[in-house]
Amino acid sequence: MVDVTAPHASLSVEDLRKRITTNLQHRQGVGPKEATVADVYKATAEVIRDYLSSSWLDATRRMVEGNVKAVGYLSAEFLIGRQLSNALLNAGLTDQFEGAVKELGFEPKDVIATEPEPGLGNGGLGRLAACYVDSLASLGVPAFGYGIQYRYGIFRQEFDGQGRQVEKPDYWLSEGNPWGHEDFVRSQRVSFGGTVVDGENGARVWKPDWSVRAVPVDYLVPGYDSGRVNTLRLWTAKSYDEFDLATFNRSDYMGAVIPQVDAENITKVLYPEDSTPQGKRLRLEQQYFFVSASIHDAIRTFYAGEAQPDLTTLPDKICFQLNDTHPVIGIPELMRVLMDEYGIDWDTAWDVTRRTFNYTCHTLLPEALEVWPAKLIGELLPRHLEIIKAINAQFVEELESKGIDPEGIDRMRIFTDGPDAQIRMAYLATVGGSYVNGVAALHSQLLKDVTLKDFSAAYPDKFTNVTNGVTPRRFIKLANPRLSDLITEGLGSDRWIHDLDELEGLVPLADDASFVERFRKVKDANKRDFAAYASDKFGFSIDTGTMFDSMIKRLHEYKRQSLKILAVIAEYAAIKDGSADVDEIQPRSVFFGAKAAPGYAMAKLTIRLINNVARVVNDDPAVKGKLAVYFPWNYNIDLAEHLIPATELDEQISQAGKEASGTGNMKFALNGALTVGTLDGANVEIRERVGADNFFLFGLEVDDVEKLYADGYDPMKYVHADSRLRRAIDMVADGTFSNGDRNAYAALTSDWLTHDYFMTMADFTAYMDIQKEIEETYQKPDEWARKAILNVAHSGFFSSDRAIEDYLRDIWHTQPQR
């Protein structure tokens, strides 16, 4: 019998095999002989979850009883990826698992691959949240991730016969979900609508119209080798009125389930927009739903059994991090809870609220900063609207007392008066919390200088930076086992998995011929693995003797997939017409992975163009062996985990001043790819650390971009100046990539020639030039490998463990619980 109070003690292969067999029989209803790989996956997942649960209970108990402040990471997205391999790694059970399932007659990798990937996020913001909960648990910090369990995650991307994106629903829960445990006993009521009336002693009383039941689905988050298991609590919406019998009895069978459908719609689908708020009402409902449930859940957890809890101690128990503006409605919600539910006066409630929240901004695009119509908030959350107005009034007074002029005050209003009054959520977050941080040094600087300039002038101490990080567990140890082994061998220990700064120890090995040789072999083997995976999954036949050049990220104009595809077209044209020296050009395989928001026409057209360039180029015998383009569909974490370790050149080519940070750039550098990039987001810090010689920098910088805008940017100037660019655009316009249809890409070409807001034309020549330098370097394999090793060695800073340590020290003011 395992002692259920002890942090997870280890299991032998035999123990694990027995537990899986028992689960197969008792829970899946099959004997080990009849079991399919899906049964074994499910059984293993349940066994691992059960195994971790004693440590989980223990960690939760210690959190509540101890006096270390916890962290509540509030995020509308958690892009957690597949759970099994990560849970095994972090719990130290990988070998036992492999032994046990082999004994049962299954291939471990098949069992792992059976798991559907939960797509509960759009991209970087959601994946960052997942890295952060991993690091919090690995460092031993008491913490919750709080979010939403969407029934349908990010859409599954397919391409039609013409290369266009088609969105299909992703019903990831269709086979059940062994990792998430629905805890009906700890559900919360979340209410909406109605009116606010005067109560006793000047109190305001919200009389809501309707309520939904928020049911927590608990995922266990085991730290790597830390013994700590934290909670990721994702809420799902259920109806209180499942079914209306009276309506049913009138033979209105559909009408009878309307209340249920209405309530459950709240968590039905993830908004597939990564930068603009869409479907406003439902989105606001989602935000309030998970934030209100989470705040009440934290209170329930920390003040359990207290008849008259003193909520003024809340900031000593937990601090909430607002992951972008999506959870910001939590600020008026906590005010409401403190005042209306616990009878605390305004000033005290405000003090508690401000000490409880902090806000991370993840964007520089003004359209991505959420703004809600006051009318909508008033309809859905009338009491919150009153509170927001009062916060705004108090804030305006404070600004007046600081001597800020009326125009300055108008620019900073949280609540803009007038008939179309709006609530600016980023401003509310800035005012209602202690700290505001950007996600890379340059981004944090631009927040202070541009996006939130007035606020940083009035409250300079509020603003800080935490450069993003990624978890080395999933993105090196699991994704790249060959490199992990080589690193461990090179460093003489695997401590780097805990402390990624240890990678610095690889620096001398960059000059060690045998290490360099082995490093190259690792990359080659990873390339072959990826080719096999892509052949199997996408039917590609990839030449592994070519340079692997990848651009994987959301499709967005500012990220400039257009720049890459124009360069590919230019290269294609040059090979075909003989202007490129065939002996000199470096054969390449170019990979794209990207989803476009379903309503984003330019992005979708770019996808279509890339697919058609791939079709034409790959079918053309004239460039065979020199250039190939692949666009695996449905880019997700699984694809990233396969492609990143195989990539040699990583494309981070956004317009300077637009990418807040990027996190793919960190994963690539840590896996020994070299970056071609602009001085944008975290590229700046990557280059500083890995060394300017080991980073391919090109393009306009932030100041150049600003100056060009100010001087009146004219893309034609650049098109005229570079015949390769003219030629490439002509080919897009003349039907080469659309079976002769000259209209297919008109929206793209006309934008490039007339508007080109993200200055793709202006950066084209520099981009072509740097590609030349890249090819020359690549043709000296030892030099390339040396640079790649130095990228790995100097990128330890980009661990999410370091990022969490920054948050602990500078923002949360808490620590691991020993």
Catalytically annotated residues: 362, 553-554, 559, 663, 667
Do the Cβ atoms of 814 and 355 come closer than 8 Å? no
Q: Which of 324, 370, 571, 805 binds ligand NTF (CB under 6 A)?
A: 324
Q: Which of 21, 114, 468, 694 binds ligand NTF (CB under 6 A)?
A: 468
Report if residue 634 touches ligand NTF, rule: CB under 6 A: no
Looking at beta carbons only, is 526 or 663 nearer to ligand NTF? Answer: 663
Q: How far apart are CA 69 and CA 66, in angstroms?
A: 9
Nearest distance, CB of residue 367 and ligand NTF, angstroms: 9
Q: Which of 52, 59, 70, 128 binds ligand NTF (CB under 6 A)?
A: 128
Nearest distance, CB of residue 96 and ligand NTF, angstroms: 35
> 760: burial class by Cβ within 10 Å (0-12, 13-18, 19+)?
buried
Site for ligand NTF in 268-297 (CB under 6 A): 274-275
Q: How many residues bind ligand NTF (CB under 6 A)?
A: 18
Q: How far apart are CA 624 and CA 60, in angstroms?
A: 59
The stretch among 120-128, 453-461, 501-509, 774-782 that binds ligand NTF (CB under 6 A) is 120-128
Looking at beta carbons only, is 442 or 478 nearer to ligand NTF? Answer: 442
Q: How far apart are CA 735 and CA 741, in angstroms?
A: 5
Three-state secondary-structure class, residue 262: helix
Looking at beta carbons only, is 264 or 274 nearer to ligand NTF? Answer: 274
Three-state secondary-structure class, residue 793: helix
Three-state secondary-structure class, residue 697: strand
**DSSP class of 179:** S
Looking at beta carbons only, is 128 or 590 nearer to ligand NTF? Answer: 128
Do the Cβ atoms of 205 and 199 come closer than 8 Å? yes
Residue nearest to ligand NTF (CB): 124
Q: Which of 138, 526, 663, 800 binds ligand NTF (CB under 6 A)?
A: 663
Nearest distance, CB of residue 369 and ligand NTF, angstroms: 9
Q: Which of 368, 676, 732, 761 binds ligand NTF (CB under 6 A)?
A: 368
Nearest distance, CB of residue 474 and ligand NTF, angstroms: 16
Do the Cβ atoms of 777 and 477 come closer than 8 Å? no
Instruction: Say how many C-beta atoms besides its own lie within 10 A of residue 531's C-beta.
Output: 18
Report if residue 651 touches ligand NTF, rule: CB under 6 A: no
- Sequence-separated (6 or more) residues with CB below 8 Å from residue 601: 747
Nearest distance, CB of residue 365 and ligand NTF, angstroms: 7
Q: How far apart are CA 121 and CA 73, in angstroms?
A: 15
Report if residue 125 touches ligand NTF, rule: CB under 6 A: yes
Nearest distance, CB of residue 575 and ligand NTF, angstroms: 34
The beta strands (E) that lie in 453-497 are given as: 463-465
Looking at beta carbons only, is 69 or 687 nearer to ligand NTF? Answer: 687
Looking at beta carbons only, is 90 or 665 nearer to ligand NTF? Answer: 665
Report if residue 662 touches ligand NTF, rule: CB under 6 A: yes
Nearest distance, CB of residue 686 and ligand NTF, angstroms: 12
Looking at beta carbons only, is 70 or 125 nearer to ligand NTF? Answer: 125
Looking at beta carbons only, is 228 or 362 nearer to ligand NTF? Answer: 362
**DSSP class of 240:** S
Three-state secondary-structure class, residue 68: coil
> 739: burial class by Cβ within 10 Å (0-12, 13-18, 19+)?
exposed
Looking at beta carbons only, is 516 or 644 nearer to ligand NTF? Answer: 644
Q: Which of 149, 363, 467, 800 binds ligand NTF (CB under 6 A)?
A: 363
Nearest distance, CB of residue 560 and ligand NTF, angstroms: 13
Supply 243's token pair.
Answer: 């079914």
Q: Which of 362, 389, 413, 724 binds ligand NTF (CB under 6 A)?
A: 362
The stretch among 39-47, 50-58, 121-129, 251-259 that binds ligand NTF (CB under 6 A) is 121-129
Report if residue 124 touches ligand NTF, rule: CB under 6 A: yes
The stretch among 105-113, 123-131, 424-432, 604-612 that binds ligand NTF (CB under 6 A) is 123-131
Looking at beta carbons only, is 538 or 558 nearer to ligand NTF? Answer: 558
Q: Which of 659, 751, 801, 805 binds ligand NTF (CB under 6 A)?
A: 659
Report if residue 469 touches ligand NTF, rule: CB under 6 A: no
Bridging pattern class, strands 210-222 and 229-238: antiparallel
Report if residue 661 touches ligand NTF, rule: CB under 6 A: yes
Contacts with ligand NTF, 438-457, as mask; x by CB under 6 A:
-x------------------
Q: How far apart are CA 545 and CA 565, in angstroms?
A: 22
The residue type of 652 is: Q
Site for ligand NTF in 672-711 (CB under 6 A): 681
What are the C-alpha distances in Å from 398 to residues 70, 336, 451, 620, 697? 31, 21, 21, 67, 45
Cα R_g (the chain), whole angstroms: 27
Q: Which residues face 676 on adjacent strands? A: 651, 696
Q: What is the largest CA-CA distance in the chain?
A: 87
Report if residue 323 touches ligand NTF, rule: CB under 6 A: no
Q: How far apart are CA 565 and CA 758, in angstroms?
A: 15
Site for ligand NTF in 372-431 (CB under 6 A): none
Looking at beta carbons only, is 378 or 681 nearer to ligand NTF? Answer: 681
Report if residue 436 touches ligand NTF, rule: CB under 6 A: no
Q: How far apart are CA 605 and CA 590, in angstroms?
A: 19
Question: What is the torsion angle, in degrees rounded to the nearest 10, for the CA atoms of residue 328, residue 333, residue 335 and residue 339?
Answer: 180
- Sequence-separated (6 or more) residues with CB below 8 Å from residue 330: 74, 291, 292, 294, 295, 320, 322, 357
Do the Cβ atoms of 277 and 597 come closer than 8 Å? no
- Please, where are the H alpha helices in 492-621? 513-538, 561-577, 601-619
The stretch among 55-63, 122-130, 135-143, 307-315 that binds ligand NTF (CB under 6 A) is 122-130
Do the Cβ atoms of 768 and 724 come closer than 8 Å? yes
Nearest distance, CB of residue 362 and ligand NTF, angstroms: 3
The stretch among 175-183, 263-271, 281-289, 656-664 that binds ligand NTF (CB under 6 A) is 656-664
- Sequence-separated (6 or more) residues with CB below 8 Å from residue 434: 354, 355, 357, 358, 462, 811
| Interface with ligand NTF (CB under 6 A) | 123-125, 128, 274-275, 324, 362-363, 368, 439, 468, 659-663, 681
